[in-house]
Chain A
Amino acid sequence: MNAKALLLALLVPLPVLAQGFAGLGTTSEGFALPERRELVFPADHGAHPEFRVEWWYLTATLTGPDGTEYGAQWTLFRTALAPGEAGGWDSPQVWLGHAGVTTPDRQFVAERLARGGIGQAGVQAEPFEAWIDDWQMQGQAAAGQDQLARLDVAARGADFGYELHLSTDGPIVPQGDHGYSVKSAQGQASMYYSQPFYRVEGRLDLPSGPVQVTGQAWLDREWSSQPLGSDQTGWDWFSLLFDDGARLMGFRLRDGAGGYSSGTWIDADGTPSALPPGALKLTPLTTAQVAGRTVPVEWRLELDQYGIDVTTKALNPQSWMAVNPPYWEGPIRIEGSRTGRGYLEMTGY
């Protein structure tokens, strides 16, 4: 096992880490723990180095001029080898970037690694900017405004790249209880908020040439120090953007038994309603062989309280993020009681 693989094992955020997390044990030595408090902006847009892991996670469902559907992902992870920050190479912070573009028949993937403390990667709350190497998520809002309201996002890999311009009038949506999101029956939790209302326009650079795209995007911000419960083996996470403007975030943490599912219903005006554990029923319908594993690529989601009974279907069942450790992440199409598009992340298969 090479250094990078090990580092990844150390770095990868909660959902991905659910599979085998031997290196860190189950305690959070010296790290801060999530607490029930109000989110504070713009400060909370920036990094929380006293927490073990944190991410800025953007997924976009896009459409080309010919109607072809695409998906794009831009993620910056932060992990701390020790709590706090220090200057230069002494910084305990390590940064990891993942970028992906999904087309109906291809999945493009790139990753970047960087040390904290030297300026190669980082996040600044105001004016908002998150970056690793030449990948950027740059706020365009004026001082005092919502720093996440307008973002320019760019990334590139060996065979692809993109530039996306994001804007929204919608509010920032706290997940869980005012941003305190419980992840297991034992009480593991994270701090979690989202901006699920972005409009997107931009350009994908693909081997076949540039493609102008428009669409929608969803940004997740989450930080935590608590690993998952020791029995939790993987994670299925959905962000659903219904055509009528409502949004649904739902996840299921798998364990030996029934698992732990939860989520947030978001009205079209941005009003969130935390779902009680188990309210959202997630059922795999069809699986596909992806990179030698069996992965569910069609799901049935039921949420009786909101009359939701939909199936989701992957745009490209082979939306495999071939990083280390690898996971599945790609755009989905929603059909059933409501229609729309969304993103699905599955780890631990």
Chain B
Amino acid sequence: MKTLFKITVLMLITSFQVYAQTETETETEILYSKSYETNQSTTALLEFRGSSVEIYKSPDDKFHIEYIIEFINYPNRKKKEARERVNIESDLVNNQITLVDKSKFSMYRFYQSETITGTLDLRNESEIKSYLYKSEKQVVNEINKAKKPVSLYAKYIQSANRYSESEKKEMIEKSNNRKRKKYVKRFTIKVPSHLDLTINSKASTIRIQEKIENQITLRADGGTVYLNEINNIRNIIKIKDATLIVNSINGGEVILDNSKRTIIGELKNVKLNSEFSQLEIGLINKNVEITDFTSKYLIHNFSKDFEALDMNTEYSEVNLFLPRNGGYELTTFGNYTKHFVENKLVEVSAEKTNGNTKMLDLNSKENDGKLSAIKVNTANGIIRISKDVINFGE
């Protein structure tokens, strides 16, 4: 009888724990909500630090701010503390809306040793052996996939090379089934189409979910920026130590400093200035100019009438797949640059320093009379050109 009782108590305790692990309780609260009337000359200055921000078109002429907190399996006794860490200020002065997130930098607690180890293990990145050509559609699919939220744990496990693929899958599934206590905070901002927007963010995730025409001045220091289609000739996008994932940029200037991952679906009418970055571009459209120092470029496609691509590079690695639509002429000028065409070294006569000689000239065979020009000014560079596959055999 005594033994039976003990077993029953143990079963009861165990079943409570199992039940607690499988049930997810989510509770959403709006912590801040404000709307401002705007006119044609209203501007907005938004400052974020460690924030998660989603920006949409406003359904009316008002500027809407909403800040929510989502508690997931979070203990009631700790919710108050989480709420108290939120500190948001906004105002409308001299026709400028300001919004500042002064909340304490308080992402949910994080003490999974494997995730920490994953973070510390990131340097074991596998070396890429080749690049395969991707159609514009394939690049867009990758962008859309990259935009889907992934847990930090999954991100680090995926990037840790000490696990096999099956081990990674198993660990992530196990983690997904585990009950977590956390809270997620998020801004939802709705912007009228006439409003000029300035965003300064640090270690934040900024998502502009829709195609927008607003003038945007964005400075992202760390974190990740996800954009859909941004169209404005006065746009300025500055990315430092951050990731940029964007479907299309039409107009303006993009400045990248140490962006380890930038994927751009399409570039049109853009001046791109980069250093110490890695970029993958799905499509080069009209009027694109690139200036770079020590970055790695991978360019997949050119639009039929892109007319001209100008690149000025120093110590850069330019990998490009030849245009598939329309005639082209590809010319490289400069000095001391190594060229690989269809994965074979092409010897070009070039001075070691200070020269600006013409080094390589490639023309499309299908010449319909109108050629688009790819002009690469390069010093101490590596240029790889291919139709389908770029191998790094050197």
A, B co-complexed: no
Q: Which residues of B contact A (CB under 8 A)?
A: none
Q: Which residues of A contact B (CB under 8 A)?
A: none
